[in-house]
Each structure stands twice: as structure tokens, then as C-alpha cells.
Structure 1
Amino acid sequence: MSGLRLGGPAPDFTLRDQFGQDVTLSSYRGSKAVALLFYPFAFSGVCTGEMAGIRDRLAEFMTFDTEVVGISCDPLYALRAFADADGLNFPLVSDFWPHGEVTRAYDVFDEVKGCPRRSSYVIDKDGNLRWAVHNAIADSRDLDEHLAQLRQVS
């Protein structure tokens, strides 16, 4: 990770969610831990299944004073359609323009495919990176492991 280190500060950002509302990472500081879930493309097979899995277990994720934020480089309108089609009721933010700027800050932008790699970060209530995992684009996340990591920082 270029410039990123576990225990160090998470790069702050403000991006718009599927409803056009600003989501600022630092706004959670002091009150919530955050699971940042970078995913390649809305409506793709693995991403659709993965986000539906999070939707189905959202109550488990929220139990720990946490927020779940999905990040892709899809345009805002695609994220709205994706959320509406699959009933995704957590923030999906668009890193569309400048294309991949936040994704690059987290060192997970795939320059060839133009999308985020399937990566996750857990950020504690102080705004520090506490855990990271990077999956192959075709491999779904282990949501149980994500929940275990969130329990440790909450």
C-alpha cells in the first residue's frame, strides 16, 4: 500500500451516494467505525451477490456502531439503479469523477480495468486503518471475517 499503513490515518473523502447526498468519511470519526467496501462494478455477478449479502446482514453490521460504505467508480445514476433494483439500503458512493481519485488514495484502483479492486478496509472510530483485505476480482468477500474485524474495533 503506497502511503497507507495499518494503524495510520484513513484518507478522508467526500463522495456522493446513490441519493445524491454527500458522504464524508471523517464525519463518522468519534462515533462510528466504518467498513469501506470497494467493488468493481454495479450489476456484475459477484458484486450483486456480495452487496445483497451485506443488505441481508446489515443489522449485524450495524450492531457495533458501524457504518458500511460501498465504493465503486460507477456513475451516480448507475448506483441509484443498482440500489433500487436490489434494495440496497446503505451508502453506495460514486468515485466516478475525478475517476478513481479516492480508489487510488486507497491503492486499490485497477488502471487496466478502470475500476476498484475488490478490497475492504475497516476504519476505527478514531479514523485509523485497522484491517484490510484484498480479494481477486472473481472472489467474493468473507462477510463473517468482516464482522469479526468490526467487533474488534467497536
Structure 2
Amino acid sequence: MDTPDGAALPGVGDLAPDFTAPNVHGAPVSLARLRGGPVLVVFVPFAFTPVCTAEAAALHRAWPGWRERDVQLLMISCDAVPTLRRWAEEQQVGFEVLSDFWPHGQVARAYGAFSELDGAADRVSVLIDADGVVRWRRSTGRGLARPVSDYQGAIEELLRGGSEGSLS
């Protein structure tokens, strides 16, 4: 499957591309180091925008229940580290927020979630299993928030031992 830009996507059943990106404190976070448990990767276009801020707040509320079940949550934006640090502090999020600023959009590109039109991530979400395989993927338009219930359903299915999710 391709994005409107034509970038190849890792689909359900594919090995998730590994990456290392700085968190809001500049410390590197590597997907490979998170193997052994599920990882939800949520790309957002821009910090300090209404939809991204609403999504961060909704994920913050859901995060404790997922963390108890050893699910990692990574929110990724192409914004710079200082911008994301301020935003994450204001949102009081407990999960990792990562910067894909430099090389610009490299992680988003690897996941087919980068828009060449404005140099930002598209709203793409990927659930990766303990072995590093993509088990669920969703995307929505820029102005549309992704419902936490979609994440919850995908996480429940994965933790129950369900096979592959669906691509959309």
C-alpha cells in the first residue's frame, strides 16, 4: 500500500522499521530496545495544535492502563526537541514523545507517515508486537482525531493473542 505521496508503508505482518529518535530531554529512544512487549507508535503533525493536543490528552488518560499491561507508547512529531519538551510538559504526558526533526522526517518516512507537502507527519498509528512485527495500522486525515477506543481494541486483540489487525 502507498501513501498519497507514494511512500511505501510497512503493512500488517511486516517487520517494523527500527529507529532511534530523541525524546523531549534529548535522550535516544530505540524501537529495538523496546522489543519484548507491544509498542504503539502514534505520529502527529504538529505540537500546540488543537487536534494533536486533544489526542495527547486522550492518550495520557488511557496510558496508565496500557502501561500496567507493559504496552509502550511513543508519540512522534517532526517538531524540534525544545518545542516538543514544552508541549509535553504543558500536556503533562507520562509516555515518550519523540522528535523526528533531524534527519527531518526520517522515522515518519520509514513508516509511510511523512507529508512532503508540509514537511510534517501524517496521522498514522502503528501497533507493533513483542517481536517487532506490525499487527495493526490506522491513518486519518490531518484534522481528524483518532479515537482512543481504536487503540484500545487493537491492544486488547494483540494481548489476547489475536493475529493480524487490519490496514486502513
TM-score normalised by L of structure 2: 0.88
Matched, 1:100 2:105: yes
Alpha-carbon RMSD across the aligned residues, in angstroms, is: 1.0
Matched, 1:9 2:20: no
How many pairs does the alignment contain? 153
SS of the counterpart of 2:84? helix
Does the C-alpha gap of structure 1 residues 3 and 138 become closer, same or farther in structure 2, counting only changes over 3 Å? Answer: closer
Distance 1:96 1:125 in 2: 27
Poorly superposed stretches of 4+, deviation over 6 Å = none
One-letter amino acid matched to 2:21:
L
Q: Is the 8 A contact 1:64 1:151 kept in 2?
A: no
One-letter amino acid matched to 1:110:
S
SS of the counterpart of 1:23? strand
Q: Is the 8 A contact 2:11 2:137 kept in 1?
A: no
Residue 149 of structure 1: aligned partner: 154
Distance 2:103 2:30 in 1: 16
SS of the counterpart of 2:75? strand
One-letter amino acid matched to 1:105:
A
Residue 78 of structure 2: aligned partner: 73
Distance 1:141 1:66 in 2: 18
Residue 116 of structure 2: aligned partner: 111
- Report Cα offsets for 1:30-73 as digits up to 9, x if no partner: 2x100000000000000001101111221122232100000000
Does the C-alpha gap of structure 1 residues 16 and 5 become closer, same or farther in structure 2, counting only changes over 3 Å? Answer: same
Q: Is the 8 A contact 1:64 1:150 kept in 2?
A: no
- Report Cα offsets for 1:88-145 as digits up to 9, x if no partner: 1210000000100110000110101110001100000010000100001000011111
Unaligned segments of structure 2, at least 5 residues: 2-7, 160-168
TM-score normalised by L of structure 1: 0.95
One-letter amino acid matched to 2:63:
L
Deviation, structure 1 residue 3: 5.2
